[in-house]
Amino acid sequence: MIAELAMPDPDTHMPTSALQTGETHDFNDCWPAATPELSVLVPTYKDSADRLLQALGNCTDTSRVEVIIYDDGSADPELTEHIRKAVKAFTGAACLVTCAENKGRSAGRNRLQDLSRSDWLLFLDADMVPDDPKFLTNYLEVSATQTLPALIVGGFSLNQAHPTPQNELHWAQSIRSECLSAALRNENPG
């Protein structure tokens, strides 16, 4: 079945069918005119994405992406205002969707996919920080070479994190698996 594209709402520039009761939408000045090649989708619950937005804003090619933050019912006005300010300050197109009630992780991710305006989706956690100024460019370059549907799965690095007694075990496991290059992970994906 092929879904029909809904006309964008003139106020939010999102598909009209995607707007739901109980949501508020805040977007920056770049949002309305953007035609993103990549949608960066960030579900969050009681966690600020302001540091992530600031780091993404320092990356190259922000004009080619949109960032959508979905606050899944945190119900914290101070947190919402923090994220709203970060959205307004972001150098590319950015939008905050705040849901009045918590609907769960998978529902949040599904909403983000519904709201995206690009064929390419990159899901990030609100607490991550890219450690390379070409972070977005790298994803854009890979997606530009694809002629068929594809999935890009990335690992992560710990360059922006520091080991603590609370994360020491996870740190050690990550260094030996998730923090390897894609080529090394592909040799033994198990």
CATH class of domain segment(s) 1-144: alpha beta
Reported pTM: 0.81
CA dihedral for 27, 60, 43, 83, sign (positive or negative): negative
- Angstrom distance (rounded) from CA 65 to CA 46: 25
Summarised one tens digit per residue, pLDDT across range 5-54 is 344 565 656 654 467 889 999 999 999 999 999 999 999 999 999 999 99
Confidence of residue 155 (pLDDT cuts 50, 70, 90): low
The residue ranges of every structural domain in the chain are 1-144, 153-190
